[in-house]
A and B are shown apart, each in its own frame.
Chain A
Amino acid sequence: MPLLSVEDLRIAFHGRDRVVEAVKGVSFTLEAGRTLAIVGESGSGKSVTALSLTRLLPDPPTCRVSGAIRYGDREVLGLDRRGLQALRGKEIAYIFQEPSSSLNPVFTVGDQIAEAIRLHLPEVKDVRGRVVEALRQVGIADPERRHAAYPHELSGGMQQRVMIAMALACRPRILVADEPTTALDVTIQKQIIDLLRDLRASAGMSVILITHNFGIVQGFADEVAVMYRGQIVENGPTEEVLRHPRHPYTRALIGCIPRLGVRQDRLATIDHAAIAREMAAGA
């Protein structure tokens, strides 16, 4: 049985004079210990899908979610406040793109990690010890001293490590990483991906990686789902999708990435009209 299964997920935002269907019937499953990458561009619905997993979206009537999201034996869409509280952070935790705007600037990073531990794991006696351990786990040197640092005293890469420490302090079963490295330099990007890979293995955790960059998917995700205009247009084992993309959008998305050492006169772009024609012809 999969750890998480999403079936025919639909998410619509109701504005004053129009309805935007952000997600139009998405289904996928995640097995324990596996990593799924959801790849798509801005507006494809990938982040909204991620947020819906613990109902972090606005309440109706602004936002309506339908379908099924099953985590173990729980139906997430049927949970009450208390049920969601037990799910968020403790079972499914998140890290986001911009660590500087996810951290509270007026509290030390240690206080912020401690808050998460006290909320989700009230049985833990030595909170400070757990904070120090969490910081050490994400490779922050001298955690006994660094836990007293404020976010602005840390670099972007260090801030993202703190976010990861905070997410992992409660030992969640699923980590949702929404563009975790997009705001970081390439060398730091590699460090964070390597760190996530190590932690995933040592904690036996599942990961959902949300990204627009196929480059970080390879070698990290077991499976990939490609999202385009609110739907999953292709999914499968990562290597198979990358080497033999079946959907025209997947081919286009892979094609427009500049490659080191491959001189091209022009970069390929995505011809949405052609994709629409191919999709209509294939349907």
Chain B
Amino acid sequence: MTAPVASTDAPLLEVKNLKVHYPLRGGFLKRVVDHVRAVDDVSFTVARGRTTGLVGESGSGKTTIGRALIKLAPITGGSIRYAGAELTGLSNRAFLPFRKRVQMIFQDPFNSLNPRMTVEGIIREPLDLHFPAMSRADKRDRVASLLRRVGLEAEHMHRYPHEFSGGQRQRIGIARALAVEPEFIICDEAVSALDVSVQAQIVNLLQDLQAELGLTYLFIAHDLAVVEHIGDHVLVMHQGKLVESAAAEEIYRDPKDPYTRRLLEAVPKLAV
């Protein structure tokens, strides 16, 4: 895939020596006896307008990285620079402008949408937070156009999440992420819970949106085949460490790390 926006030399995101350690307490005084090194000294960059894939198995730390980037996981050490600005150590208030530029799409479209809110309410919520001055009518127009943009209909805004299929719910999640016009989207297992045909539709939609809006993606998944398809660059995590970082076509042709090779071997292959 060619990048829609000429990627400048400076990466949009620069992660250096990132550590997320959780204390393990034990003994009768509940003293810290050890740490779980969920993310252990990980460094990588994400190029603007491109898709960086992040693969690994459960417990590899891939989701924790995504969460740490938007201040949803406590950072033990290291630095995260976004568009040249340091994000670690910012207060919640100082972080808010970045939360507008960086959005997230979650795995489970069944649990990540509030069942008591209408689709309009769900997509409007980030607008209420980040665009307090926008009028109600303008917000409604924006919701309608977002729904059309992700392949749904404007009338769907009056419905509730349970009235939609898994694929449609993921489209609602994408519309919510796009509402505040972000430049960077973290897709955390965004297609893992979907059927293969629906997965293909959502992957294609994400690629269309990237081409149109110049979005940058960090695409976190355990399915190497999907990541290799959508990613320009692929990062492989194993037990909290980054074990491989290479261009998508390289990773399949010439995997360097033994763990990457094992992961490639385990992917079910269809010979037809």
- Which residues of A line the B interface, CB within 8 A? 41-42, 155-156, 185-190, 212-216, 218, 242-243, 252-254, 256-261, 263-270
Asked if A266 and B263 make an inter-chain contact with CB atoms under 8 angstroms apart, the answer reads no
Say yes or no for B253: interface residue by CB 8 A criterion.
yes
Taking a contact as CB atoms closer than 8 A, the residue among A212, A254, A260 that contacts B267 in the complex is A260
Measured CB to CB, the closest approach of chain A to B214, in angstroms, equals 18
Say yes or no for B133: interface residue by CB 8 A criterion.
no
Measured CB to CB, the closest approach of chain B to A237, in angstroms, equals 14
Specify the chain A residue showing the minimal Cβ separation from B259: A187
Interface residues of B in 109-158 (CB under 8 A from A): none
Asked if A215 and B269 make an inter-chain contact with CB atoms under 8 angstroms apart, the answer reads yes
Report, nearest first, the 7 A-B pairs whose CB atoms are least far apart: A215-B268, A267-B200, A185-B57, A256-B200, A270-B197, A258-B229, A187-B266
Band of interface residues on B: 35 or more
Report Cα–Cα, A42/B272, bound state, in Å: 24
Asked if B226 and A258 make an inter-chain contact with CB atoms under 8 angstroms apart, the answer reads yes
Report Cα–Cα, A186/B267, bound state, in Å: 6
Q: Give every chain A residue within 8 A of B165 (Cβ-Cβ).
A: 42
Q: Give every chain B residue within 8 A of A263 (Cβ-Cβ).
A: 229, 249
Measured CB to CB, the closest approach of chain A to B229, in angstroms, equals 4
Instruction: Supply 9 further A-B pairs (C-beta < 8 A) apart from A186-B267, A267-B199.
Output: A41-B196, A42-B195, A212-B195, A214-B196, A252-B197, A254-B272, A259-B225, A260-B252, A268-B200
Contacts A189-B266, A213-B268, A242-B270; A258 near B197 (Cβ below 8 A): no
Contacts A186-B57, A269-B200, A270-B197; A264 near B229 (Cβ below 8 A): yes
Asked if A261 and B1 make an inter-chain contact with CB atoms under 8 angstroms apart, the answer reads no
Asked if A253 and B266 make an inter-chain contact with CB atoms under 8 angstroms apart, the answer reads no
Q: Give every chain B residue within 8 A of A254 (Cβ-Cβ).
A: 270, 272
Asked if A258 and B228 make an inter-chain contact with CB atoms under 8 angstroms apart, the answer reads yes
Asked if B223 and A212 make an inter-chain contact with CB atoms under 8 angstroms apart, the answer reads no
Asked if A267 and B270 make an inter-chain contact with CB atoms under 8 angstroms apart, the answer reads no
Specify the chain B residue showing the minimal Cβ separation from A188: B57
Residue from A186, A190, A218, A269 with most neighbouring chain B CB atoms (10 Å): A186
Measured CB to CB, the closest approach of chain A to B208, in angstroms, equals 9
Sampled A-B contacts (29; CB under 8 Å): A41-B198, A155-B58, A156-B58, A186-B222, A186-B223, A186-B267, A186-B268, A188-B57, A189-B266, A189-B268, A212-B195, A213-B268, A214-B270, A215-B267, A215-B268, A218-B269, A243-B272, A253-B197, A256-B196, A257-B225, A257-B270, A260-B228, A260-B252, A260-B264, A264-B229, A265-B1, A266-B204, A269-B200, A269-B201
Q: Give every chain B residue within 8 A of A253 (Cβ-Cβ).
A: 196-197
Contacts A256-B200, A258-B226; A42 near B253 (Cβ below 8 A): no
Question: Could you give, for residues 183-200 of chain B, a 1 whenever the CB lies within 8 Å of some chain A CB and a 0 otherwise?
Answer: 000000000000111111
Say yes or no for B93: interface residue by CB 8 A criterion.
no
